[in-house]
Structure 1
Amino acid sequence: MTTTGEVHRAALTGPWWWARRRSAVLDVTLAVVSAVECAKQGTTFARDVGLPFAVGLVFGLLAGATLLVRRRWPIVVVLVAIAVTPAEMGFLLSVVGLYSLAASECPRRITAGLAGMSLVAVLIVSYVRTDQQADAGVVPGEGWVVTFIALTMSLGLTAPPVLLGLYVGARRRLMESLRERADSLERELQLLAERAEERAEWARSEERTRIAREMHDVVAHRVSLMVVHAAALQAVARKDPEKAVRNAALVGDMGRQALSELREMLGVLRTGDGLSAPAAGNERRGRAEPVPLAAVGAAAAAAASRAAGPAPVGEGPCLADLDELVGQSRVAGVVVVLSVEGELRAYAAEVEQTAFRVVQEALTNVHKHAAGAKTYVRLAHRLSEIAMQVENEAPPPVTEGGCGARLPSGGNGLVGMRERVGALGGVFVSGPTDAGGFRVSAVIPCGAA
Structure 2
Amino acid sequence: MTATGADQDAPGVGARGWWWWERRRGAVLDGGLAGVSAVECAAEGAAFAERAGTPLAVGVLFGFVVGSVLLVRRRWPVTVVLVSIAVTPAEMGYLMGIVGLYSLAASEVPRRITAVLAGMSTVAVFVVTVVRLRQDVAQADVDQQDFDPSGWYVPVVSAFMTLGLNAPPVLFGLYIGARRRLMESLRERADSLEQELSLLADRAEQRAQWARQEERRRIAREMHDVVAHRVSLMVVHAAALQAVALKDPQKAVRNAALVGDMGRQALTELREMLGVLREEAVPAPASGVPLAAVGRAAAAAAEAAAGDGGEGEDRDGPCLDAVEALCEQSRQAGAAVELVVSGEARRYAPEVERTAYRVVQEALTNVHKHAAGAEVVVRLAHREAEVAMQVENGPSDAAVAGARLPSGGNGLVGMRERVGRLGGVFVAGPTDAGGFRVSAVLPTAPAGRSGPGVPPVASVDG
Alignment TM-score, normalising by the size of structure 1: 0.90
Please list, as runs of the form range in 1=range in 2, the aligned pairs for 1:58-137 lying within 5 A after superposition.
Answer: 58-137=61-140
Q: Structure 1, residues 163-212: CA drift from partner, whole Å, max 9, x if none?
A: 00000000111111112112212222222222222222222111111111
Cα distance between partner residues in 2 of 1:393 and 1:110: 93
Q: Tell me if the contact between 2:107 and 2:177 (Cα under 8 Å) persists in the aligned partners.
A: yes
Q: Percent identity?
A: 68
1:354 to 2:347 alignment: no
SS of residue in 2 equivalent to 1:376 = strand
**What amino acid does structure 1 have at the position aligned with 2:105?**
A
Contact 1:421/1:427 (<8 A) preserved: yes
Instruction: Give the residue type in structure 2 aligned to 1:224.
Output: S
My pick for the range that moved more, 384-393 or 260-269, is: 384-393
Q: How many residues in Structure 1 have an aligned counterpart in Structure 2?
A: 426
Contact 2:237 2:258 in 1 (8 A): yes
Say whether 1:219 aligns with 2:227: yes
For residue 183 of structure 2, the aligned residue among 161, 169, 175 is 175
Alignment correspondent of 1:26: 29
Structure 1 residue 311 displacement after superposition: 4.0
Secondary structure at the counterpart of residue 395 of structure 1: coil
C-alpha displacement at 1:302, in angstroms?
Answer: 3.7
Q: Secondary structure at the match of 2:209?
A: helix
SS at match of 1:75: helix
Residue in 2 aligned with 1:263? 271
What's the counterpart of residue 413 of structure 1?
Answer: 411
Q: Is contact 1:43-1:57 (8 Å) kept?
A: yes
How far apart in 1 are the matches of 2:445 and 2:155? 93
Greater mean deviation of Cα atoms: 431-440 or 355-364: 431-440
Q: CA deviation at 1:147?
A: 2.1
Give the AA of the match of 1:42: G
Q: C-alpha displacement at 1:20, in angstroms?
A: 1.8
**Contact conserved, 1:77 with 1:93, CA < 8 A, in 2?**
yes
Q: Root-mean-square deviation (CA), in Å?
A: 2.3
8 A Cα contact 1:309 1:424, kept in partner: no
- Structure 2 length-normalised TM: 0.87
Could you tell me which runs of 5 or more consecutive residues in structure 1 were left unpaired when the two chains were aligned: 1-7, 283-290
The 8 Å contact of residues 204 and 302 in structure 2, kept in 1 or not, is answered as: no
**Match for 2:368: what amino acid?**
H
Report matched runs for 1:32-431 at 5 Å.
32-137=35-140, 141-272=149-280, 275-276=282-283, 278=284, 293=295, 296-306=298-308, 308-309=309-310, 311-398=312-399, 404-431=402-429
CA deviations over 1:362-402 (Å, ceiling 9, x no partner): 00110111111100111111222211110000000136xx5
Offset at residue 292 of structure 1 (A): 5.1
Distance across 2 between alignment mates of 1:102 and 1:234: 101
Q: 1:397 is paired with a residue of what secondary structure?
A: coil
Alpha carbons of structure 1 residues 97 and 211: separation in structure 2 relative to 1, 3 Å: same
Q: Is the 8 A contact 2:10 2:20 kept in 1?
A: no
CA distance in 2, matches of 1:305, 1:221: 30
Cα distance in 1 between the residues matched to 2:200 and 2:135:
73
Unaligned segments of structure 2, at least 5 residues? 1-8, 288-292, 447-462
1:314 Cα deviation (Å)?
3.4
In 2, are the aligned partners of 1:310 and 1:423 still within 8 Å (CA)?
A: no
